Amino acid sequence: MERGKSVETCKCFSEHFSKRHFLSGIDARVKLLVTLALLLMALSYKGIFFPMLVAVCSFTLCVRMGVPMRALLLRMAQPLLLAVVVLVLKCLFTGQDTLFVISLPTSHFPFLMLTGHWDGLMEGIRIASRIIGGVSLVIALGFATPFIEFVAALSWLRVPRPFIEIMMFAYRYLFVFLEDAETIYSAQKNRLGYAGLRKSLNSFGVLTGSLVLRGFEQSQKTADAMTQRGYTGDIPLLKSQPLKAAELAAAFIVVLAGGAVWMI
């Protein structure tokens, strides 16, 4: 039962959804260039309209590609949490125009004042929209492009080879460590390791420490195994084919349309 749940969880983070769809035939380099151009626009936009428009379009593409909503929510959970934290911090600790004041009674002080600021809130919304828009673009690219093609596209863009090789090894063992984490978590949960806040924090610390130690151990084993097999620091990648004029033209139109909206 637990093994089946582990496999299903891994599928949500793997190429399980990289099947035939309307974006699968497009060159990965073209998709990467379009994503980078739109990402720069989303991060440099002064308001919230363009990043949110990019997020809506990216989620629509993911739905059209047949990506389950659960996988989308898993991918967006951490960025959404980060966006909320940034929004709250900006609202409470930056700005000049007072929006609200909340008095909280405490044991050490008569009351604690929390002041929200309108201009801080708006700045937080702008930053949160950029986070959501940028992450949604990367998510759509990940579901639309198999990992090996994405790595080949990075190599074509002259990304340093050591970075690509480390990324490939990390991707290889990501699911191994994910399964190990689920195994340790299940064992801790069966022994009531998460019954209460103190036990939960202690169990989580043990789980994190175990994964770090296994990561160091696995890195040494991988290095020894690659050396024994004649690894010289060069991993063969896919050969780059000539770019198609039709795909480049379509990409140019998409970037041009995005630029027109960005300038509004």
pLDDT over threshold 90, residue 43: yes
Q: Same domain, yes or no, for 248 and 152? A: yes
Q: Same domain, yes or no, for 109 and 177? A: no
Report the chain's mean pLDDT, rounded to a whole number. Answer: 84
Q: What is the pLDDT of residue 137?
A: 94
4 assigned to some structural domain: no
Q: What is the pLDDT of residue 5?
A: 46
- Mean pLDDT of the 181-186 span: 90
pLDDT over threshold 60, residue 13: no
Q: Same domain, yes or no, for 92 and 103? A: yes
Q: Same domain, yes or no, for 48 and 144? A: yes
Q: Same domain, yes or no, for 165 and 150? A: no
3 assigned to some structural domain: no
Strand residues in the chain grouped as ranges (E):
98-104, 112-117
- Mean pLDDT of the 107-111 span: 59
3-class SS at 195? Answer: coil
Q: Same domain, yes or no, for 177 and 205? A: yes
5 assigned to some structural domain: no
* Number of domain units in the chain: 2
Q: What is the pLDDT of residue 32?
A: 92
Range of the domain at 172: 160-233
Confidence band of 177 (pLDDT split at 50, 70, 90): confident
Q: Same domain, yes or no, for 75 and 170? A: no
10 assigned to some structural domain: no
Q: Same domain, yes or no, for 255 and 152? A: yes
Q: Same domain, yes or no, for 218 and 246? A: no
Q: What is the pLDDT of residue 106?
A: 60
Q: Same domain, yes or no, for 32 and 113? A: yes
Q: Same domain, yes or no, for 59 and 84? A: yes
> Higher pLDDT residue, 1 or 34?
34
> Higher pLDDT residue, 35 or 235?
35
8 assigned to some structural domain: no
11 assigned to some structural domain: no
Q: Same domain, yes or no, for 181 and 135? A: no
Query: Does this model's pTM top 0.85?
Result: no
